[in-house]
């Protein structure tokens, strides 16, 4: 183990031992993973081993505006309460010194194998697309169930990637298929097209380039980040986060996208054949770089960064932290579609249930309060429906257009409108957590996720409309 690495970990631990979040902070989240201080981005290394969940994450502990990336580490026994396990990986080697970038975990025979991208930028005049940058693929291991990660080793040196690729190759994810290990990586080729590369190995150490796993695809941007691949309900799923797609009607409105293809794997050639088009995973303002893992019950769980790089809206930095994770979502494939549902363990937070009937003929008006709340609306019949959350965040549905629209005023800090086309509306499940809102639509068919910064004294949650059904409100308490 690098002694510098050990010392920095200890110093960070000592610093955090006396750290207390500012209790005046109106935006600190109650039931979401967020950095204790500093900046957070992608989920990394998510796994469950011997009952314990691990969530590592892209972390700049000393700079809420972002900077040098470490891996932070949280553990949990229930996916709802998390313990801060400190710094897991530090940028302390010549091959990762400008950032321990994103990666994943793969457990076998009691050993957790981590693969991540070591980012290095060379001094001088470079465009950093074709020169001056290294993105090494690094392997490290944990022999103590994820609490310490050691034995970093470069398994693919940046200069050994095939020449058709640019210097942007990162975010490895591993899977074992028919006794062979496969690694996918997000990539940008020299024609400025995004794609997923595939490597294979017999021992997790020696990796050979196998070819593209999928892509490039017309109209799908210049770079694909954070790929993920798994089988679910007898379908192959490929998740990617493309950069450089053009908006198309209501679709692809954010600066970068995250979405999935359903398909099949050609097991002989190990390539992906999509049987669907590209679906966005979320239709809100703040969702990027998702990562999934299979839990010990065989469920597929997904976290994403509840944020975006290079977005032109902002987040206040007054309390020296920025960004958070989404709620963990349970994924299933049903009727040729990926369904995303909030992890059921979050139901344990429900308190003070308040359930009311909505009658179409009377016109509904229901009023609740809460900065940390869940609102579940089940709909039998609807003409129109509008939910106002705290000050000026509104969710509205019109059955003539069948569009659900999310609108933010000042609370959006630059976030204004996103909308999604539905075939019908039969359920809305909203999670409100001080400065975040996640809306699960029709029991997980679609999701809209956004950060919001309402006025501290504004607590109301209001539902109006011509709608028949029920609305249930809970305050959520840990």
Positions in the binding site for ligand FRU (CB under 6 A): 41-42, 58, 69, 101-102, 117, 170-171, 225-226, 288-289, 309
| Among 6, 23, 25, 42, the one annotated catalytic | 42
Pair type for strands 52-60 and 38-49: antiparallel
Beta bridge partners of residue 354, listed in sequence order: 473
Least separation in angstroms between residue 289's CB and ligand FRU is 4
- Return the number of the residue (171 or 433) whose C-beta is nearest ligand FRU: 171
Residue with tokens 């000592």: 14
Alpha-carbon span 341 to 86, nearest angstrom: 29
Least separation in angstroms between residue 61's CB and ligand FRU is 13
Q: Do the Cβ atoms of 301 and 330 come closer than 8 Å?
A: yes
Alpha-carbon span 460 to 443, nearest angstrom: 24
Least separation in angstroms between residue 297's CB and ligand FRU is 29
Closest CA to 224 of 178, 273, 170, 286: 170
Least separation in angstroms between residue 253's CB and ligand FRU is 18
Q: Is 42 a catalytic residue?
A: yes
Q: Phi and psi for 235 in degrees, rounded to 5?
A: -125, 150
- Return the number of the residue (69 or 283) whose C-beta is nearest ligand FRU: 69
- Return the number of the residue (41 or 201) whose C-beta is nearest ligand FRU: 41
- Return the number of the residue (41 or 435) whose C-beta is nearest ligand FRU: 41
Alpha-carbon span 56 to 72, nearest angstrom: 5
Closest CA to 200 of 185, 180, 215, 214: 180
- Return the number of the residue (118 or 454) whose C-beta is nearest ligand FRU: 118
Cα distances (Å, whole numbers) of residue 393 to 64, 200, 216, 421, 458: 25, 48, 38, 19, 11
Least separation in angstroms between residue 184's CB and ligand FRU is 13
- Return the number of the residue (40 or 432) whose C-beta is nearest ligand FRU: 40
Q: Residue 117 half-sphere exposure, CB side, CA atoms within 13 Å?
A: 28
DSSP per position, 93-126: STTTTT-EEEEEEEEETTEEEEEEEEEEE-SSS-
Question: What is the number of other CB atoms lying within 10 angstroms of the CB of residue 442?
Answer: 17
Residue 410's SS3 state is helix
Least separation in angstroms between residue 122's CB and ligand FRU is 18
Q: Which are the catalytic amino acids?
A: 42
């Amino acid at each position: 183990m690098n002694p510098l690495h050990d010392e920095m970990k200890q110093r960070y631990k000592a610093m955090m031992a006396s750290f207390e979040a500012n209790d005046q902070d109106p935006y600190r989240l109650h039931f979401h993973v967020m950095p204790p201080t500093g900046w957070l981005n992608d989920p990394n290394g998510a796994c469950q081993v011997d009952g314990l969940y691990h969530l590592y994450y892209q972390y700049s502990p000393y700079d809420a505006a972002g900077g040098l990336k470490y891996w932070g580490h949280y553990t949990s026994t229930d996916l709802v309460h998390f313990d801060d396990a400190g710094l897991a990986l530090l940028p302390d080697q010549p091959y990762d010194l400008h950032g321990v970038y994103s990666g994943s975990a793969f457990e076998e025979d009691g050993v957790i194998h981590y693969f991540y991208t070591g980012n290095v930028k060379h001094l001088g005049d470079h465009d950093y697309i074709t020169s001056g940058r290294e993105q090494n693929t690094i392997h490290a291991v944990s022999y103590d169930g994820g609490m310490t990660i050691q034995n970093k080793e470069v398994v693919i040196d940046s200069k050994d990637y095939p020449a058709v690729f640019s210097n942007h190759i990162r975010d490895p994810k591993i899977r074992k298929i028919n006794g062979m290990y496969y690694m996918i990586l997000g990539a940008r080729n020299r024609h400025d097209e995004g794609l997923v590369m595939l490597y294979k190995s017999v021992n997790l150490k020696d990796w050979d380039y196998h070819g593209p796993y999928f892509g490039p695809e017309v109209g799908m941007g210049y770079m694909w980040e954070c790929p993920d691949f798994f089988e679910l309900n007898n379908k192959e799923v490929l998740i990617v986060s493309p950069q450089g797609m053009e908006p198309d009607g209501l679709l692809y409105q954010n600066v970068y996208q995250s979405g999935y293809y359903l398909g099949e794997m050609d097991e002989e050639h190990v390539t992906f054949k999509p049987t669907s088009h590209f679906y966005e995973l979320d239709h809100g303002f703040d969702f990027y770089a998702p990562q999934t893992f299979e839990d010990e019950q065989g469920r597929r769980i997904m976290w994403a960064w509840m944020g975006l790089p290079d977005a032109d809206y902002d987040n206040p930095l007054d309390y020296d932290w920025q960004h958070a994770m989404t709620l963990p979502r349970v994924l299933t494939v049903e009727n040729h579609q990926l369904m995303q549902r909030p992890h059921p363990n979050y139901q344990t937070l429900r308190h003070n249930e308040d359930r009311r009937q909505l009658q179409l003929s009377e016109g509904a008006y229901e009023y609740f309060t809460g900065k940390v709340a869940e609102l579940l609306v089940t709909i039998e019949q609807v003409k129109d429906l509008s939910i106002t959350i705290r000050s000026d965040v509104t969710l509205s549905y019109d059955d003539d257009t069948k569009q659900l629209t999310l609108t933010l005023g000042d609370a959006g800090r630059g976030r204004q409108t996103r909308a999604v086309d539905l075939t019908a509306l039969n359920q809305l499940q909203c999670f409100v957590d001080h400065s975040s809102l996640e809306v699960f639509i029709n029991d997980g068919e679609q999701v809209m996720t956004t950060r919001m910064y309402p006025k501290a004294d504004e607590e109301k949650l209001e539902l109006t409309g011509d709608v028949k059904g029920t609305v249930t409100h809970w305050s959520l308490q840990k």
